[in-house]
Chain A
Amino acid sequence: MKGSEAIIESLKAAGTEVIFGLPGGVVIPLYDALFDSDLSHYLVRHEQGAAHMADGYARATGKTGVCIATSGPGATNLVTGIANAYLDSTPIVAITGQVRSDLIGTDAFQEVDITGITQPIVKHSYLIKDPKDIPRVIKEAFYIASSGRPGPVLIDIPVDMQNAEIDYVEGKKIDLPGYRPTLKGHKKQIRAAARAITAAEKPVLYVGGGVITAGAEKELQALAKLMKIPVATTLMGIGTFPEDNVLSLGMLGMHGTGYANYAVTHSDLLIGVGARFDDRVTGKLSTFARHAKKIHIDLDPAEISKNVLIDIPIVGDAKNVLAGLVAELKSMKRDARKTAAWIDQINTWKKKHPLSYQDEEGSIMPQFVVEEIDRVTRGNAIIVTEVGQNQMWSALFYKHKKPRHFISSGGLGTMGFGFPASIGAKVGRPDKTVIDIAGDGSFQMTIQELATAVCYDIPVIVCILNNGFLGMVRQWQELFWNKRYSETIISCQPDFAALADAYGALGITITEKKDVADAIRTAIKAKKPAVLDFKVRAEENVFPMVPAGKSIEEMIGGHK
């Protein structure tokens, strides 16, 4: 069979059901083979969209997302999406076409060194030099992308490799001597952690996306409930612990809740699970959780003591380690009432510094829109976000309860991620209401994918919190740069509802508070792609906020 057919066969053998992509000269053979296959391919309008769709699909389903682009500009258009997947550790396999092998290195038409360009932002990459390698490489790529700490893998395939005739032999057993993720936690370390937990009076669980990857939410909840430990999540960890539970502290960090940040600051034991002590979480490193002993459970040994010195490191998969920890604790003499006074203290903080915002007569408050989305969907939707204020309000004002139901660009903070990611999420979870809570700036970065959503009848709902600003940057300018709004006013805007209509989607403009819920309901009922343009209060800020580089208890705003 031809190399191109071997690619399709290998993708299917790896469990691929859907592909996002856009063809070009050097992937015509691959697309020709695709033409006869039963794989669903979604033709995008820009390759960045394909990468984000694969990413959103992966986050919503836990499966590996796949995207295809041609060489040169097609491949470089994937770069932002690959970096995004790398920084948030999501499993995607990106396939790029490459110029003919004998032309490589000659600056041939549409030749770029895409394995070189993406080298620092992939988990691994391949350039196929022998068509016989295709099945093995694709098998390895899926294994690498989805195992251990997941991440993007790129496979660059010269066009002559696709055209070559090969005997297709399914990829053999995987043999990667340099790749053996540690899954089981060290027994002794687990015991040490258990002892520290029983000794603690003011423990806090600090939970990140690793818990979602590991599917460890049950184990996490068991641990928290067994020992009555309050839980703060990172942006990536949202959904691992139901926010309506009394032990939930919501999100911590730069835009975390006051009580989460106070709890971490005053804790005597911090238990980090699948989180990486990112600067958006820790603020000033020297003061972060300065009274606490620190346990860190993570699959990636390179994250241990990278930013914050760890007392009890446990390298392993969160599900394994947490289950081991719960079992160990159950076998020990323990007293969960030890944290009662701590929980009281936290409840006092919750009363004193609740998440709040001030209503303004005649305005739609952006936080209110998010709360209405929560009410109308009964907290059951998959919420995808763009980047900026919209993202933080979505994180804070929707009560998240389940993993894989909050999808947001954390590490890279990619404006334009949300909308294509929501399309990918909806493709993976057609049973779910999928809502992209967007900013007017971000949405315009990948708005062309409206065509994709309409064309394939993918009914995602974009809720633009339209403030007429690159709002988050404007907020920094207001607070730290004397309100000098340099290039953050985006007054020249399309009529988003009319634009949606032109694409064949439903478009509604909402200017009155009383119409907010109705618009959301109408969009859900319409069962087609929809854009809701909520004209919200323009100069509203996200509070609380920890200024960059400050200690996380030095919050501004959000105090009553």
Chain B
Amino acid sequence: MKHTLSVLVENKPGALARIAGLFSRRGFNIDSLAVGVTEDPDVSRMTITVSAAEHPIEQVTKQLHKLINVIKITDLDPENTVARELALIKVKSDAGNRAEIMQLAEIFRANILDVGRNTLTIEITGTYEKIDALERLLFPHGVVEVVRTGRIAIERGQK
């Protein structure tokens, strides 16, 4: 199962390496990782997605807690979380398919960032699944390059 861990860390040298190292040492593959400062400039938030069963996730969470720079870890409950990812997709395009691609982008509420002689670059924000769906549809046109930020997520406000 896919888990989204939201980890608050002190903004200290080596903190990122320690956290990433711990995952690999305990045999986990990180699917995506996004880091940025929070409302407190001394504290960063890492959003990590990993695929693992319940028991190993609990283990790795406990091990993460032992890192001195880790302040808090939340294994986000998908029911109660909004998650987004940003992707930039460069796709082959000429006069023949430009309109079709732009229409696809519109359906997905994606933006055209750049129009090249033989390419279009699309910016899309959304859930993991939405980005995957657009990627799949663009695939037959020839996807040149995909850059994804990895998931960031936040718990919903109280109802």
Contact = CB atoms under 8 A, between A and B. Distances in A.
A144 B9 CA distance: 17
B71 A178 contact: yes
B90 to A, nearest CB: 33
Contact of A127 (B9, B10, B13): B13
A521 interface: no
A306 B63 CA distance: 11
A300 B66 contact: yes
B13 A178 contact: no
Contact of B65 (A120, A124, A301): A301
Interface string A173-185: 0001111000000
A119 interface: yes
A36 B68 CA distance: 34
Contacts of B25: 120
B14 A178 contact: no
B99 interface: no
A115 B71 contact: no
Residue from B66, B71, B72 having most chain A Cβ neighbours under 10 A: B66
A19 B13 CA distance: 27
A178 B59 contact: no
Interface string B1-22: 0000000011001100110011
A329 B14 CA distance: 47
A280 interface: no
A559 interface: no
B30 interface: no
B59 A306 contact: yes
A123 B68 CA distance: 8
A178 B62 contact: no
A291 interface: no
B17 A178 contact: no
Contact of A125 (B9, B14, B59, B65): B14
B67 interface: yes
A302 B63 contact: yes
A304 B65 CA distance: 14
Contact of B68 (A127, A144, A301): A144
A124 B10 CA distance: 13
Interface in A284-312: 300-302, 304-306
A124 B71 CA distance: 14
A187 interface: no
A179 B25 CA distance: 21
Interface string A123-140: 111010100000000000
A276 to B, nearest CB: 13
A305 B55 CA distance: 9
Interface in A122-165: 123-125, 127, 129, 144
A157 to B, nearest CB: 14
A362 interface: no
Interface in B39-80: 55, 59, 62-63, 65-72
Contacts of A144: 68
B68 A176 contact: yes
A120 B69 contact: no
Nearest to B9: A178
Nearest to B22: A120
B68 A179 contact: yes
Contacts of B55: 305
Contacts of B68: 123-124, 144, 176, 178-179
Nearest to A181: B66
Nearest to B64: A302
Contact of A115 (B9, B14, B67): B14
A129 B10 contact: no
B18 A302 contact: no
A127 B63 contact: no
Nearest to B71: A178
A116 interface: yes
B41 to A, nearest CB: 14
Contacts of B59: 302, 306
Interface in A39-73: none
Contacts of B66: 300, 302
Contacts of A115: 14
A547 B10 CA distance: 46
Contacts of B72: 178
Contacts of B22: 120
Contacts of B9: 178
B18 to A, nearest CB: 6
Contacts of A301: 62, 65
Given A301-B65, A302-B65, A119 B21 contact: yes
A179 B9 CA distance: 11
A426 B14 CA distance: 37
B70 A178 contact: yes
B10 A178 contact: yes
B13 A129 contact: yes
Given A127-B13, A127-B14, A306-B59, A178 B69 contact: yes
A116 B10 contact: no
Contact of B18 (A119, A129, A176, A304): A119
A530 B40 CA distance: 60
A509 B130 CA distance: 78
A305 B62 CA distance: 11
Nearest to B10: A178
Given A119-B17, A125-B14, 20 more contacts: A119-B14, A119-B18, A119-B21, A120-B25, A123-B68, A124-B68, A127-B13, A129-B13, A144-B68, A178-B68, A178-B70, A178-B72, A179-B68, A300-B66, A301-B65, A302-B59, A302-B62, A302-B63, A302-B66, A305-B55
Q: Name the 3 nearest CB pairs between A and B, nearest first.
A: A302-B62, A178-B71, A124-B68
Interface of A: 115-116, 119-120, 123-125, 127, 129, 144, 176-179, 300-302, 304-306
Interface of B: 9-10, 13-14, 17-18, 21-22, 25, 55, 59, 62-63, 65-72
21 contacts: A115-B14, A119-B18, A120-B21, A120-B25, A124-B68, A127-B13, A129-B13, A144-B68, A177-B10, A177-B71, A178-B9, A178-B10, A178-B67, A178-B68, A178-B69, A178-B72, A302-B62, A302-B63, A302-B65, A304-B62, A306-B59
